[in-house]
Structure 1
Amino acid sequence: MTSTKDDEDFLRLDRQICFSLNAASRAFGGVYRTLLKDLNLTYPQYLVMLALWEAPKDEGLAVKRLGERLRLDSGTLSPLLKRLEANGLVRRERSARDERSVTVTLTDAGAELKKAAAEVPRRIGKATGFELSEIEDLRERLNRLTEALDRSALS
């Protein structure tokens, strides 16, 4: 099989969606690292806190459910939770109904941190230079892309 000019152009690094997504992700990581420094959180810890801030305060989330929401396996999630617990932001407790299940709840300090974190999305939006409608459209497209890739991986 011979290679055509179109094949060569298609294989250029700057034409790869995976490269563009990875580059954007790394750039976001740098901005988040700067913004989250004042909150004493890493980006993965911030994601955990976002999920917990959405959960009913007194109920928290089961670790399994938290991992599903964040698309993280327990090997990645457990050390994050241990660090957040050591920093006094969350509490991990075995379920009284099922000892195999561990529930994560916010401490008062973890709940209070939400106020300080409220500025992060605004500053991220400003850093992109995008209008809110553009950000929402991009997020929707990325969600559709993720769903399509998940379905494709299952085939």
Structure 2
Amino acid sequence: MSQPQPTATEDLLRLEHQVCFALHSASRAFGGVYREALRDVELTYPQYLAMLTLWEHGELPVKRMGELLRLDSGTLSPLLKRLEAAGLVQRTRNPEDERSVIVRLTSAGSALRERAQQVPRTIAASVGLDLDELQSLHGMLGRLTEHLDASVGSAAAE
């Protein structure tokens, strides 16, 4: 179903014409699907993203995790504290740089990966797009993010 095209200047301010609102709405809908899919692994969506990062990269400094997840330390630190309290990760000071904290999976955190294997399948079944459409959407969102990041970067430089 195609979106109506704005025809007049005032139509540019209609909510239904805002790409940002379409992305916001999709994000909220994804959140609901992820809440259901993650219930069995007992993780929130942000915790799941943090665990995906550790499952993929192994132990990481908190700073690098924040870069990968696009989260600031004020958001990431409490999230990691909750994962540590759940016994899924361990945080330790880097012996070579006391200012840096290293995050690593515990054996329970590593074992949780097996239970999380069904999450992407559940999400894919909920999306309503075939694999080609999903890959195309992923590529478009990646390009959109790059352009928006560059736009913010160039605006900050002015």
Query: Smaller-chain TM-score range?
Result: over 0.9
Q: 1:10 Cα shift? A: 2.0
Q: 1:73 aligns to what? A: 72
Tell whether 2:113 aligns with 1:111. no
TM-score by length of 1: 0.93
Take 1:17 and 1:5, find their aligned partners in 2: how far apart are those partners? 16
- Secondary structure, in 3 states, of the residue corresponding to 2:103? strand
Q: How much does 1:32 deviate?
A: 0.3
**Which range moves more in the overlay, 83-92 or 133-142?**
133-142
Tell me how far apart the structure 2 counterparts of residues 118 and 24 of structure 1 sit (CA, whole Å).
23
State, as a whole percentage, how many aligned pairs show the same letter: 60
2:55 corresponds to which residue? 53
Confirm or deny that 1:28 pairs with 2:27: no
How far does residue 12 in structure 1 lie from its aligned partner after superposition?
Answer: 1.3
2:140 corresponds in structure 1 to 141
Task: Please give the residue correspondences for 1:78-89 in structure 2 after superposition, counting only pairs within 5 Å.
Answer: 78-89=77-88
Distance 1:5 1:136, change over 3 A: closer
Q: Distance in 1 between matches of 2:13 and 2:104?
A: 47
**Alpha-carbon RMSD:** 1.2
* Structure 2 Cα separation of the partners of residues 117 and 107 of structure 1: 15
Q: Distance in 2 between matches of 1:120 and 1:37?
A: 10
**SS of residue matched to 2:16:** helix
**Stretches (4+) displaced over 2 A:** none
Equivalent residues, number: 149
Shift of the alpha carbon at 1:5? 5.5
Cα distance in 2, alignment partners of residues 128 and 5 from structure 1: 31
After superposition, give the CA deviation of every residue in 1:100-131 in whole Å (9 maximum; x if it has no partner). Answer: 11000000100011111111111101101111
Q: Please report how far the alpha carbon of residue 35 of structure 1 lies from its aligned counterpart in structure 2 after TM superposition.
A: 0.9
- The corresponding residue for 2:16 is 14
Structure 1 pair 143–5 and aligned structure 2 pair: CA distance change class (3 A): closer
The 3-state SS of whatever aligns with 2:99 is: coil
Structure 2, unpaired ranges of 5+: 1-5
User: TM-score with structure 2 length normalisation?
Assistant: 0.92
Alignment-mate amino acid for residue 50 of structure 1: L
- Structure 1 window deviating more from structure 2 (134-143 vs 42-51): it is 134-143
